[in-house]
Amino acid sequence: MAASIYASRYKLNHLVIGNQIGGMAVDAHEIRNYPGFKSISGKKLMEAFSSHVQNLGAEIRNEKVVEIKKELISAGKYFFEITTSTNCKYRAKALILALGTKQRKLNIEGEDKFIGRGISYCAVCDAPFFKDKIVGVVGGSDSAATAALLLAEYAQKVFLIYRKEKINLRCQPVLIDELEKNPKIEMIFKTNTIKIKGENKVEAIEIDTPYENKNELKLDGLFVEIGSMPLVNLAQSIGVNLDEENYIQVDENFKTNVDGVFAAGDVTAGSAKFRQIITAASEGAIAAASVYEYLRKL
């Protein structure tokens, strides 16, 4: 949507197409780090973005793109045909791929059932809902450690559950020190979560190594922090290069290796993979400026 705002200012004829406009940001309960808003929900912030886009005259199509094809015009120059789930087809001289990411899941029994009822993939969004509760965090990366530390500000008790030994923790040493010093946090190593239990909400998890001689841990919530996956299938289908972690490779102008194809946001390897709304918006703005320059030269 940031790319659209700039594309409108460059007077580029364009569409915004996506099945969830705003992506994962829509699901954030509260955002406190976007300039200009002390606190705002992801839904409201994305509604403000959408309103801005439409006020500038651009059209938003809530459709899922299922296929992109390249049609050669001349050496290295293409038309792109976009097909959506409603069988609509669009043709464009340039694309900005703002495909985003999706959270990795545990893929265990009970996970899908309790999403929003104790299962969360965003501690920043949902930590305040677990005041004085007992929660678990699955993972061993920086994001898992920071989630546990944040939750400790609200929860009565936080378990950090990691499938490997302590020496294999992937978070920064300074974070490990903070975890160990926090009296509310207990780390459980060499343990996998194998099932999530409850009636109408999360009540317990089943684990594969005994904790206090039990294979069950009583919890009010479970935060899954095992990383995210860039959504790159459409990019791959038209020959866009990816890095070793499957993020779209872009140059400083957010151009990909395919002429006419640009990328922005969480799906790219840009902005040091910081994956924040503010960096996604800035990448979109740069990509739109790059599209303008590209089209001028055609």
- Looking at the structure, do residues 215 and 236 belong to the same domain, yes or no? no
> 110 lies in a domain?
no
| DSSP per-residue letters across 46-90 | HHHHHHHHHHTT-EEE---EEEEEEEEEETTEEEEEEEETT--EE
Amino acid occupying residue 184? K
> 113 lies in a domain?
no
The crossing angle, in degrees rounded to 10, of helices 2-9 and 42-55 is 20
Asked if the model's pLDDT at residue 166 lies above 80, the reply is yes
- Looking at the structure, do residues 95 and 242 belong to the same domain, yes or no? yes
- Closest residue by Cα to residue 45 from 33, 56, 57: 33
Instruction: Confirm if 152 and 136 have CB atoms less than 8 A apart.
Output: no
Could you read off the pLDDT of 27-59 as tens digits, one per residue? 766 677 899 999 888 889 999 999 999 999 999
Q: What is the CATH number of the domain that holds 127?
A: 3.50.50.60
Instruction: Confirm if 98 and 5 have CB atoms less than 8 A apart.
Output: no
Structure token digits, residue 102: 């999706």
Task: Please give the Cα distance from 22 to 158 (Å, whole number).
Answer: 31
- Looking at the structure, do residues 135 and 172 belong to the same domain, yes or no? yes
The reported pLDDT for the residue numbered 77 is 78
Structure token digits, residue 73: 């015009």
For the residues 281-291, what does the mean pLDDT come to?
Answer: 98
Last residue in a domain, options 201, 224, 247 = 224
pLDDT band for 211, please (50, 70, 90 cuts).
Answer: confident
Instruction: Confirm if 204 and 198 have CB atoms less than 8 A apart.
Output: yes
- Looking at the structure, do residues 28 and 90 belong to the same domain, yes or no? yes
Asked if the model's pLDDT at residue 123 lies above 90, the reply is no
List phi, psi (to 5°) of 259.
Answer: -55, 130
The residue with greater pLDDT, 275 or 219, is: 219
Task: Please give the Cα distance from 131 to 153 (Å, whole number).
Answer: 8
pLDDT band for 201, please (50, 70, 90 cuts).
Answer: very high
> 114 lies in a domain?
no
Task: Please give the Cα distance from 207 to 2 (Å, whole number).
Answer: 43
> 166 lies in a domain?
yes
Q: Which domain holds residue 22?
A: 2-102+229-297
- Looking at the structure, do residues 134 and 41 belong to the same domain, yes or no? no
Instruction: Confirm if 60 and 53 have CB atoms less than 8 A apart.
Output: yes
For the residues 62-78, what does the mean pLDDT come to?
Answer: 88
Exposed / middle / buried, residue 256 (Cβ in 10 Å: 0-12, 13-18, 19+): buried
Global pTM value: 0.76
Could you read off the pLDDT of 220-237 as tens digits, one per residue? 999 999 988 999 999 999
The reported pLDDT for the residue numbered 29 is 61
Task: Please give the Cα distance from 215 to 205 (Å, whole number).
Answer: 8
